[in-house]
Amino acid sequence: MKWAASLLVGSRCQVLDIHNALVHLQTKPEWISISQKKGIRLYSWAPDDALADVFMMQFGQYPNVDEISIDYRRYVKEATGAREIRLEADSKLSADLVDYPSVSFLSRYGLERHHGVLGGLGSSGILFW
């Protein structure tokens, strides 16, 4: 896709991404409370794990650095002091895994509905003409 290539210039994204969100949030009191008191977690797992798709949906994951030349995982780790957690296929999953903010949380944190978008079932975010 030609348009996708124009989103990256060198190793910098030309649209808003997690880097922009972290810079914006770093001085907000509510963010400091989340990142320092609770702590961000970056989960990883084997690609062939039977629960890999479930983990991806629940915890989120950034694209591979080799594919996009941007290390979003490193950005998050450096900016938040995030803790790396490896989910092994042969180990029991801790009940508190979902109690900590992860990539999926960061992807939606601080997002609000635009005043021009009406709520309700008839407004799923897709405009039909």
| 98, pLDDT greater than 60 | yes
- Residue 39 CB neighbour total at 10 angstroms: 13
Q: 3-class SS at 94? A: coil
Sign of CA dihedral 73, 17, 31, 116: negative
Terminal C-alpha separation, the chain: 26
Q: How many helices (H) and strands (E) does the chain have?
A: 7, 4
Contact 22, 79 (CB under 8 A): yes
Residue-wise pLDDT for 38-65, tens only, equals 788 999 999 999 999 999 999 999 888 8
pTM assigned to the model: 0.71
Q: Name the CA radius of gyration of the chain, rounded.
A: 17
| 28, pLDDT greater than 60 | yes
Residue 88: what pLDDT?
A: 94
Average of per-residue pLDDT across 71-75: 88
Sign of CA dihedral 99, 102, 107, 110: positive
